[in-house]
Structure 1
């Protein structure tokens, strides 16, 4: 039975996570869905994010996926727990939905010597308080400082992040975060879009600051998860394939998606 692993994001950012996962698990089959028609999720309400994410998760289940990764911080922050408690327990007891926040917060404290960690994220992720809450469970001695970056995703999604005008919005958020604590030595990019800004951010930050994108951390966590749950790994099909879908224009997704994925993307449009 063909059971690929589903990878979901509100837009293109999850492709940075899928890229890392496929490098670690090249034999597995994957299906990617970007809800580009309704992106970005970062400024939307809890209820709206939950309804959108729920709809997309059900689409994955209907298309043969029994394991779905929410490669979207906003969906992980605002919808994951409710989906796990309502949908999975009541309607889909054999299915699994995982997010990106838990695996990241399990690791982030290992990188900080000063125990002062910065978070750069969308307004929705910052407002949820998910990162300070989860980090405190694993590293109670770590102090967390957050900065919302409302302009970053629109700039990236519109391919304007390399323009001179984008530099102001990028540097502004970095400066605000660093002003909150001069002891910050680790900064987590808590949005899967943000790796496209890595080169700009590294120029703005002191050399002593470690910048952490999520892709490699989430990929390692998924490998460990499948190792701990061989029954789930056994149900996943392994033909080394990947299929891409979008709720918006497939042509636009193919053009933009290749920037995030690092290679050519060929997608199909779906109606939810």
Structure 2
């Protein structure tokens, strides 16, 4: 692999590829490295301490590959690890590098989508329990009411290729009904897990037309473009050859490639990396 200073994209598994797809689509000129920690996924039900440890190990690995900027394309890692990494781990050690998440850029704009001021957030157990979206959205849109719903069975359904099968409808409807029972005024649903765009068609099928469904990919990509414009000290470090390299902590790279291609909407050829 030629010497580059790429943008690092991290996820606990393959879900972050939906965000990476949008980023690469809007900013194709940059070099990128994607790292999926598939051997230790899912992160959703793990403790704050464990998620921080795993995320920080992966971020440091991406730094070692020459990444001046790492995007946590994972809501759980953004919710449970990002602040500690930014405020405790990096100062004094990696002052010339940056780590960004997906929650804040989403929170900065999601309030613009709602007319009723009632938003539903669908996420993993870890993301919902962290209250990160409710806290961040309140900073930018204090008048908006946020209703959260954990959907613990959706990621297993997606990763086992059942997301477009009839059996998935039951679990999609179950969680949507639970969320909507708490407010009849919800008009915007945020998919606060990067896996969930694969269920988007089924989710919409079980909703009235008055409720819009918002995925994060394009929001995060637009926010990154703005960030790089405002931070030339980071932007100037990133090389621009249009390269994409994929790594996974799973030793079954063929399985990763098969699933990753579905999320990335393009063929993926990965390499194995040990994070132990």
Q: Name the TM tier (shorter chain).
A: over 0.9
**Mapped pair 1:13 → 2:27:** no
Q: 2:124 aligns with which of 116, 122, 125?
A: 122
What's the offset of the Cα at 1:154? 1.1
- Residue segments in structure 1 that go unaligned for 5+ positions in a row: none
Give me the whole-angstrom Cα distance separating, in 2, the residues matched to 1:86 and 1:73.
Answer: 20
Instruction: Map 1:82-161; keep pairs closer than 5 Å.
Output: 82-161=84-163
Tell me the residue number matched to 1:260.
Answer: 263
Alignment of 1:195-234 (within 5 A): 195-234=197-236
Confirm or deny: 8 A CA contact 2:97 2:234 kept in the other structure: no
4+ aligned runs moved over 4 Å, structure 1: none
Tell me, yes or no, if the aligned pair for 2:75 and 2:103 is still in contact at 8 Å: yes
1:243 counterpart SS class: strand
1:170: how far off?
1.1
Which structure dedicates a bigger proportion of its chain to helix?
1
TM-score (norm 2): 0.97
TM superposition shift of 1:166? 1.9
Contact 1:25 1:223 in 2 (8 A): yes
Compute the RMSD of aligned alpha carbons: 0.8
Deviation (angstroms), 1:122: 0.2
Cα offset, 1:231, TM superposition: 1.7
- 1:222 to partner: Cα distance: 0.1
Give the CA deviation at 1:114: 0.2
Q: Distance in 2 between matches of 1:77 and 1:23?
A: 25
TM-score (norm 1): 0.99
**What is the alpha-carbon distance in structure 2 between the residues aligned to residue 90 and residue 184 of structure 1?**
44
| Count of residues paired in the alignment | 272
Matches of 1:90 and 1:251, distance apart in 2: 39
> Secondary structure of 1:119's match?
strand
Please list the CA deviations of residues 31-70 of structure 1 after superposition, one character each: whole Å capped at 9, or x if unmatched: 0000000100000000000000000000001111010000
Determine which of 171, 175, 178 is the counterpart of 1:176: 178
Contact 1:88 1:94 in 2 (8 A): no
Residue 37 of structure 2 corresponds to: 35
Structure 2: 5+ residue stretches without partners: none
